[in-house]
Amino acid sequence: MIGKNILVFGGSGQIGRHLIRRLTNNNHLVTVATRNLHTKGSILKTQGNPGYIQIVETNIFEEEKLYNLIKDKDVCINLIGILYESKKNTFKNIHVNFPNIISRISKEQKLEQFIHISALGIEKAKDSQYALSKLEGEMKIIKNFPEATILRPSIIYSIDDNFTTNLMSLLNLMPFFPIYYNGKTKFSPLHVSDMSQIILSIIEKNICSEIIECVGPEEISFKQILEKLLFSIDRKKILIPFPLVIAKLLAFFLEKFPKPLLTRDQLNLLKYDNVLSGNRKSNIDIGFISKLKFENEIKKYSYMWKRGGEYSK
Ligand SMILES: NC(=O)c1ccc[n+]([C@@H]2O[C@H](COP(=O)([O-])OP(=O)(O)OC[C@H]3O[C@@H](n4cnc5c(N)ncnc54)[C@H](OP(=O)(O)O)[C@@H]3O)[C@@H](O)[C@H]2O)c1
């Protein structure tokens, strides 16, 4: 049985790659739009069985091309997002203008579903440009496509992330590790395979017109995340609470780099707990309870950051 005809934006990212595998394994036909076929094509091609995946290069602001991509699809999924701004890749362009365009075209073309990945905690983080832009993007989508489903995940992690993998590299390199807000900010890490399963359920159960918070099975602080990573890579490092002024100064310099490790906007965002708000539906309400625990899952790949590799003592 052939499933739905699904268009994915942002398919080369962490969630995208896992999602494409999940969708094609479940007989859905997937078209992935990428901005660079040469660098991303080879990665994308191997994510789906032959015949189930098509890859198309496009500039995400070329409306005519977007129209042609969207017009014959059943579902459009937007996974494009950025954590810091650069040149034309502003929060406004990526989190507001682009979702505005594709949700409008998706409605005009009478797609069955529009699924958009936003982020948890954006209603509280009023001093973060990232959060404000994600919230504005959500509002545009709901206006254009009232039946859209918006997912707000906490941190998504896996071997393909930029979170646990970067932290483990830094924990290995640095003699000590700075923590902000005393490391007390809480997260509810969700494994990427659970996130993909949630998106698949939304398609297969035809869930529409919802904002759904997506969380893992536990709430853990940033300090506990670092401790679990250190334990997993068998390292001992001192975690030093940084005063906010120094952290801001550090972020001011770091954000000048092309791929900054920390920006002042991220520092603002880090102040807010990234756990269920209690005001919205969650993955639990749609029948999906995540069981994958952070420390068990990171163990499956953290050995690559251990001195000597997997079987080292
Ligand atoms: N990962 C998390 O912990 C987390 C938590 C909450 C919300 N989210 C949201 O979930 C979504 C997917 O996350 P992810 O972890 O899969 O992100 P990711 O790994 O960083 O992937 C982001 C995707 O966006 C694409 N992209 C970025 N800028 C683009 C541009 N100017 N033009 C075209 N494509 C562009 C990237 O394409 P290239 O490969 O070509 O760069 C990539 O496919 C994002 O909206 C993110 O904000 C993620």
> pLDDT of 13-42, one tens digit each?
999 999 999 999 999 999 999 999 999 998
pLDDT tens digits, 52-91:
999 999 999 999 999 999 999 999 999 999 999 998 899 9
The pLDDT assigned to 100 comes to: 98
Is the beta carbon of 19 within 6 A of some atom in ligand 1?
Answer: no
Q: Is 156 in the pocket of ligand 1 (CB under 6 A)?
A: yes
Residue 50 in this model has a pLDDT that exceeds 90: no
- Strands 186-187 and 220-221 turn out to be antiparallel
Which residues partner with 220 through β-bridges?
Answer: 187
User: In angstroms, what is the span from residue 80 Cα to ligand 1's centroid?
Assistant: 4
Q: What is the pLDDT of residue 2?
A: 72
Number of H helices, E strands in the chain: 12, 14
Greatest CA span in the chain, whole angstroms? 60
Asked if the model's pLDDT at residue 1 lies above 90, the reply is no
How far apart CA 217 and CA 127 sit, in angstroms, is: 28
3-state secondary structure (DSSP) of residue 243: coil
**Residue of 135 and 50 predicted with greater confidence:** 135
pLDDT of 130 > 90? The answer is yes
The CA 184 to ligand 1 mean position distance, Å, reads 26
Instruction: Determine if ligand 1 sits within 6 Å of the CB of residue 10.
Output: yes
- Encode 269-286: b = buried (16+ Cβ within 10 Å), e = exposed: bbbbbbbbeeeeebbeeb
pLDDT, residue 308, reads: 80
What pTM was estimated for this model as a whole?
0.97
When pLDDT is cut at 50, 70 and 90, the band that residue 116 belongs to is very high
Query: Are 140 and 106 contacting, i.e. CB atoms less than 8 angstroms apart?
Result: no
Higher pLDDT, 206 or 87: 206
pLDDT surpassing 80 at residue 118 = yes
Q: Which helix (H) or strand (E) holds 240?
A: strand 238-241
Nearest-atom number in ligand 1 for the CA of 35 is 33
Residue 82 alpha carbon to ligand 1 centre in Å:
6
Q: Which two tokens stand for residue 264?
A: 């002042």
pLDDT at 196: 98
Whether residue 313 has pLDDT greater than 80:
no
Percent of the chain with pLDDT over 70: 99
User: Which one, of 265, 282, 275, 272, lies nearest residue 124 by Cα?
Assistant: 272
